[in-house]
């Protein structure tokens, strides 16, 4: 084989590998864009692009090459399908973090901190400080339980269930998995906040009774600092005990995400 043919063959292989990387980058990039912690407004776009290309190149080296596709309607539908699957996978994991945000918002109402808001990197809007605190706690636990490694494994396994260019196996299963896990996230968020909410409700009721018994006692001036102190103390006691519940919620999120790809 002469030098010209060797260079031409090497160029063809390079473009084929680049095409495979770009096909894998569609689903991986869409998932990372929706995912919390590693996606959204909290991570610069260049960093997300580097992570997407690195993961896609790694998968292209170990997974089967995508089938050749031309410039036609089937290719456009394939691109849309890859984006949709990536967004669906990322949304399942994001719902788990939304449970923590819900718990923080519920607790902040009882502590009187619902007016204290700050920028939320998850949604790009403002949210209570306690919602951000729960979000950061969920993010730390996500990395502590090797959730980032499970995420890479999930994205790689998704191509075994739904290959590039293949139709999703069960649309009805996809439509049934999302509402079921959404209800589980709502339940988890309420259960995480319930002990603190009930304790703060007892504190507020006690100060309400005192305010009725002693009219000169200002429940706002006295009750708000006590509620804040009691809430912070309860959160300090609660944090070491939420790890099993959050781990179970992440496991359910990965299970629901795997169900999307059969």
pLDDT at 4: 39
- Band (pLDDT 50/70/90 cuts) for residue 15 is low
Let me know if residue 229 belongs to a domain: yes
pLDDT at 120: 65
Let me know if residue 237 belongs to a domain: yes
Mean pLDDT of the chain: 77
Let me know if residue 111 belongs to a domain: yes
pLDDT at 72: 66
Residue 143 has pLDDT above 50, yes or no: yes
Across 10-19, 65-74, 242-251, least confident range: 10-19
Residue 208 has pLDDT above 80, yes or no: no
Let me know if residue 56 belongs to a domain: no
**Beta carbons within 8 Å of 40's beta carbon, 6+ residues apart:** 33, 34, 121, 122, 123, 124
pLDDT in tens, 56-90: 888 888 877 777 666 667 777 878 888 888 888 88
Residue 10 has pLDDT above 70, yes or no: no
The C-alpha atoms of residue 165 and residue 66 are separated, in whole angstroms, by 8
Let me know if residue 44 belongs to a domain: no
The C-alpha atoms of residue 147 and residue 150 are separated, in whole angstroms, by 5
Q: First CA to last CA across the chain, in angstroms?
A: 46
Domain of residue 109 covers: 78-260
Let me know if residue 135 belongs to a domain: yes
The C-alpha atoms of residue 152 and residue 65 are separated, in whole angstroms, by 18
Let me know if residue 71 belongs to a domain: no
Across 44-58, 60-74, 92-106, least confident range: 60-74
Let me know if residue 20 belongs to a domain: no
pLDDT at 11: 46
Tokens of 261: 């790809």
- Please tell me which residue, 138 or 178, carries the higher pLDDT value: 138
Structural domain count, the chain:
1
pLDDT at 8: 43
- Band (pLDDT 50/70/90 cuts) for residue 92 is confident
pLDDT in tens, 156-192: 888 887 777 666 655 565 666 677 788 888 888 888 8
Residue 18 has pLDDT above 80, yes or no: no
pLDDT at 122: 57
Contact call for residues 118 and 132 (beta carbons, < 8 A) = yes
């Amino acid at each position: 084989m002469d030098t010209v043919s060797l260079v031409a063959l090497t160029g063809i292989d390079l473009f084929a590998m680049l095409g495979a990387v770009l096909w894998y980058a569609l689903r991986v990039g869409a998932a990372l864009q929706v995912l919390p912690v590693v996606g959204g407004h909290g991570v610069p776009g260049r960093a997300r692009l580097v992570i997407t290309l690195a993961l896609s190149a790694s998968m292209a080296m170990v997974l089967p090459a995508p089938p050749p596709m031309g410039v036609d309607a089937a290719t456009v539908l394939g691109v849309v399908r890859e984006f949709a699957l990536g967004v669906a996978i990322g949304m399942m994991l994001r719902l788990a973090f939304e449970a923590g945000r819900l718990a923080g918002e519920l607790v902040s109402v009882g502590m009187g901190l619902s007016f204290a808001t700050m920028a939320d990197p998850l949604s790009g809007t403002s949210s209570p400080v306690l919602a951000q605190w729960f979000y950061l706690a969920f993010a730390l636990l996500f990395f502590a339980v090797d959730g980032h490694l499970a995420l890479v494994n999930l994205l790689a396994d998704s191509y075994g269930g739904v290959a590039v260019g293949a139709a999703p196996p069960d649309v009805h299963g996809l439509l049934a998995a999302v509402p079921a896990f959404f209800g589980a996230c709502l339940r988890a968020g309420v259960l995480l906040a319930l002990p603190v909410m009930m304790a703060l409700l007892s504190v507020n009721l006690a100060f309400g009774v005192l305010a009725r018994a002693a009219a000169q006692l200002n429940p706002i001036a006295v009750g708000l600092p006590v509620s804040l102190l009691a809430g912070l103390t309860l959160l300090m006691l609660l944090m070491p005990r939420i790890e099993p519940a959050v781990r179970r919620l992440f496991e359910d999120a990965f299970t629901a995400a795997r169900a999307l790809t059969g």
